[in-house]
């Protein structure tokens, strides 16, 4: 099973758009995928048009809001064929407090210890991470083995990447299996010199990790308002083709990793 954190220190770069479309695209290819929303905004459910009753808080604590016990399997919400989710939302504030109260020796690895599916049950775990750095962010990077960083090709995007590298390096001291595998340029607009310049810098510094860019595409921003992924809303749109490229890259990369081992 592959465990991919879609993470970046800066907001507004397309993390949730990437996590949702990547997860659904993989599921559509027959891969069994669990998508974990790790943001207090709870955008994953909205993007997919779902209203889960439970989520990551209940999965970790095994308790409902009223204190009643709940089995972890009952907190996982089916979204599409081969695709399940753990909802995020405001209750993650309480989860962070709960994690902070755990013994120091285990508080950073609670998620990794609990997210261990049965052999063959899943092919991918996809984490949609919030910007920033806290006890939940650390837990995610302890549970993941691959990191995918969306980088918007507009504004001071490279500064956010530099900040995230500091977080990543701290996590790698503990999780020796964690690797930055993909840099995904997003919001690429060929009409602007700024997009071109940032893309060129990324290609210069991240030759191995750089992915084909996701172009600015209005259909990508419209799809969530209909509770659909880009593949459901506008399968022929440029955004759909761009995310198909990412999915092929990730699947082929996994095949190459297996051959190398």
Residue 105 is part of a domain; what is its CATH number? Answer: 3.40.50.300
Stretch 194-206: mean pLDDT = 89
d(CA 70, CA 51) in angstroms, rounded, equals: 18
**Residue 170 CA, distance from chain mean position:** 19
How would residue 255 be classed by pLDDT, with cut points 50, 70 and 90?
A: low
Q: What is the pLDDT of residues 142-181, one digit of tens each?
A: 999 999 999 999 877 778 888 899 999 999 999 999 999 9
Q: What percent of the chain has pLDDT over 70?
A: 97
103 has pLDDT over 50: yes
- Total domain count, the chain: 1
Q: What is the pLDDT of residues 20-60, one digit of tens each?
A: 999 999 999 999 999 999 999 999 999 999 999 999 999 99
Position 67 scores a pLDDT of 79
d(CA 13, CA 8) in angstroms, rounded, equals: 8
Q: What percent of the chain has pLDDT over 90?
A: 78
Range of the domain at 40: 4-260
């Amino acid at each position: 099973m592959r465990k991919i954190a879609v993470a970046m220190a800066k907001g507004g770069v397309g993390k949730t758009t990437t996590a949702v479309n990547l997860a659904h695209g993989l599921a559509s290819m027959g891969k069994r995928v669990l998508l974990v929303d790790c943001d207090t905004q709870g955008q994953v459910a909205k993007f997919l048009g779902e209203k889960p009753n439970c989520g990551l808080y209940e999965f970790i604590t095994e308790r409902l809001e009223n204190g009643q016990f709940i089995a972890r399997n009952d907190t996982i919400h089916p979204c599409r064929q081969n695709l399940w989710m753990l909802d995020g939302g405001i209750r993650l504030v309480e989860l962070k407090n709960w994690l902070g109260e755990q013994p120091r020796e285990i508080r950073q690895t609670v998620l990794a210890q609990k997210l261990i599916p049965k052999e063959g049950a899943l092919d991918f775990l996809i984490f949609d991470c919030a910007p920033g750095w806290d006890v939940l962010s650390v837990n995610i990077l302890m549970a993941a083995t691959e990191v995918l960083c969306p980088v918007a090709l507009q504004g001071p995007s490279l500064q956010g990447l530099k900040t995230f590298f500091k977080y990543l390096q701290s996590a790698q001291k503990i999780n020796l299996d964690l690797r930055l595998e993909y840099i995904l340029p997003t919001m690429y607009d060929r009409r602007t010199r700024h997009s071109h310049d940032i893309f060129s810098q990324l290609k210069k510094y991240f030759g191995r990790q750089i992915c084909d860019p996701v172009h600015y595409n209005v259909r990508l921003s419209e799809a969530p308002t209909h509770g659909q992924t880009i593949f459901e809303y506008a399968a022929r749109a440029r955004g759909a083709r761009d995310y198909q490229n990412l999915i092929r890259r990730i699947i082929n990369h996994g095949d190459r990793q297996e051959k190398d081992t």
